[in-house]
Amino acid sequence: MLRSYKGITPTLEQGVYVDVSSVLVGDITIGRDSSIWPLVAARGDVNYIKIGERTNVQDGSVLHLTRASKMNPNGYPLIIGDDVTVGHKVMLHGCTLGNRILVGMGAIVMDNVTVEDDVIIGGGALIPPNKTLESGHLYVGSPAKKARPLNENELAFLKVSAQNYVQLKNEYLEECK
Ligand SMILES: CC(C)(COP(=O)(O)OP(=O)(O)OC[C@H]1O[C@@H](n2cnc3c(N)ncnc32)[C@H](O)[C@@H]1OP(=O)(O)O)[C@@H](O)C(=O)NCCC(=O)NCCS
């Protein structure tokens, strides 16, 4: 499931779990204790993907990026921080996500979007290009709008969700032995 592109193969740090049915190509780095679940497609071909620590990318999600061009000299890599939960069937394209974020099932996050730390994106949300989602808030809808500040339970849940997935991937890694 790990494929080279132009001589670059994905780099997995300690404790990373990648389901055998997922496909990771090229310039991808995945930090400690992160997990990639069934049928994820991630292509680090015309730019790079960097995923932080204890982050989970759930089933059927698609990760890609945008190449550099004259108009856009760095292109848009895909950068995901620590303790991020990417729900089922999410599309992340050329965007930057901070730490402790929940991306709800089926959400689409487009090029040059910045999601600050401690944000929840509701299921099915569409985040159009170039938007910044402000730390500590819930965003829902298509196109997504800021719905309200997150409460204390929701803020705490962001870390719990990531931790639950660290535990789950450890159990899956045990099964692989
Ligand atoms: C947005 C979310 C966090 C719930 O927020 P909430 O404030 O508790 O939602 P409520 O149930 O109180 O609903 C408030 C309103 O928002 C609406 N709403 C809830 N989720 C919504 C969503 N994803 N998109 C648009 N509207 C949504 C509700 O229908 C309700 O509308 P109403 O007031 O007209 O009846 C949740 O619905 C969600 O999308 N969670 C993502 C879960 C997920 O995908 N996890 C990853 C997989 S493990």
For residue 9, pLDDT over 90 is answered with yes
Give the span between the Cα atoms of 26 and 133, in whole angstroms.
29
- Output the CATH code of domain 2-176: 2.160.10.10
By percentage, how much of the chain surpasses pLDDT 70?
A: 100
Kindly tell me if the per-residue pLDDT of 10 is higher than 90: yes
Is the pLDDT at 48 greater than 90? The verdict is: yes
Name the residue at shortest CA distance from atom 37 of ligand 1: 122
pLDDT in tens, 59-90: 999 999 999 999 999 999 999 999 999 999 99
% of the chain exceeding 90 in pLDDT:
98
Q: Whose alpha carbon is nearest atom 14 of ligand 1?
A: 147
pTM confidence score? 0.97
The enclosing H or E element of 155 equals helix 152-176
How many angstroms separate the CA atoms of 169 and 166, rounded?
Answer: 5
pLDDT of 23 > 90? The answer is yes
CB 29: neighbour CB atoms within 10 A? 17
Going by pLDDT thresholds of 50, 70 and 90, the confidence category of residue 133 is very high
Average of pLDDT values for 112-139? 98
Kindly state if the Cβ of 105 falls inside 6 Å of ligand 1: yes
What local confidence, expressed as pLDDT, does residue 65 receive? 98
Task: Quote the ligand 1 centre to 146 CA distance (angstroms).
Answer: 12
Residue of the CA atom closest to atom 20 of ligand 1: 122
Which of ligand 1's atoms lies nearest the C-alpha of 88?
47
Note the pLDDT of residue 177.
Answer: 83
Instruction: Measure Cα distances from 132 to 60, 78, 95, 139 in Å.
Output: 25, 15, 10, 11
Asked whether 141 lines ligand 1 (CB < 6 A), one says yes
Q: Verify whether ligand 1 is closer than 6 Å to residue 44 (CB atom).
A: no
Region 26-37: mean pLDDT is: 98
Q: What is the mean pLDDT of residues 2-24?
A: 98
- Over residues 85-105, the pLDDT tens digits come to 999 999 999 999 999 999 999
Structural domain spans, the chain = 2-176
Largest CA distance in the chain: 49
